[in-house]
Amino acid sequence: MDELDHSILTTLEKYGRISNNGLAERVGLSPSPCLRRVRRLEETGVIRGYQALVDPAAVGRGLRVFAGVRLVRHARADVVAFEHAVVRLPEVVHTHHVTGNYDYLLQVEVADLSAYEDFHANRLANLPSVAAVTSYVTMKTLTANPT
């Protein structure tokens, strides 16, 4: 990967719907070589796909909570059981296995605090090997402003 590939990736991360001509202009290439580079980045798995960023509040998920989860046991079977169960919860948008005070950090999106209380008590706390959950309610999310 060279500087042009990095420039293409940075531009696509900010402007995923940009046309090939627009992308080529931004990175200083003509359209044909730009398209060849994008296709190569896709074929080699550097670009894993494209997605829409949806406003969570518009789809009934206006409350974002980060939940730090500690497991009781770390035997492989317990870890696999937890991971298999947590990725099936539609409220859990992202699951990260982390180091530090928690074993996992989850990004959870629900309608409101009452919905989170229900999710926490009846679903999250009942997952295999969960010892403790610490919740952090998001008050505001800052995002980079594409230029």
What's the CATH code of the domain at 7? Answer: 1.10.10.10
The CATH number covering residue 99 comes to 3.30.70.920
Q: What is the pLDDT of residue 144?
A: 74
Domain co-membership, 115 together with 94: yes
How far is Cα 24 from Cα 21, in angstroms, rounded to an integer? Answer: 5
What is the extent of the structural domain holding 104? 56-137
Q: What is the pLDDT of residue 20?
A: 97
> Do the domain assignments include residue 12?
yes
pLDDT (tens, 9 = 90+) of the chain, 147 residues, equals 999 999 999 999 999 999 999 999 999 999 999 999 999 999 999 999 998 888 999 999 999 999 999 999 999 999 999 999 999 999 999 999 999 999 999 999 999 999 999 999 999 999 999 999 999 999 998 887 655
CA 84, 89, 93, 97 torsion-angle sign: negative
Instruction: Provide the terminal-to-terminal Cα distance of the chain, rounded to the nearest Å.
Output: 24
Domain co-membership, 33 together with 67: no
Q: Which residues contact 96 (CB under 8 A, 6 or more apart)?
A: 104, 105, 106
66, 107 Cβ separation under 8 angstroms: yes
Q: What is the pLDDT of residue 6?
A: 97
65, 139 Cβ separation under 8 angstroms: no
Global pTM reads: 0.80
Domain co-membership, 64 together with 34: no
3-state secondary structure of 133: strand
Q: Which residues contact 126 (CB under 8 A, 6 or more apart)?
A: none
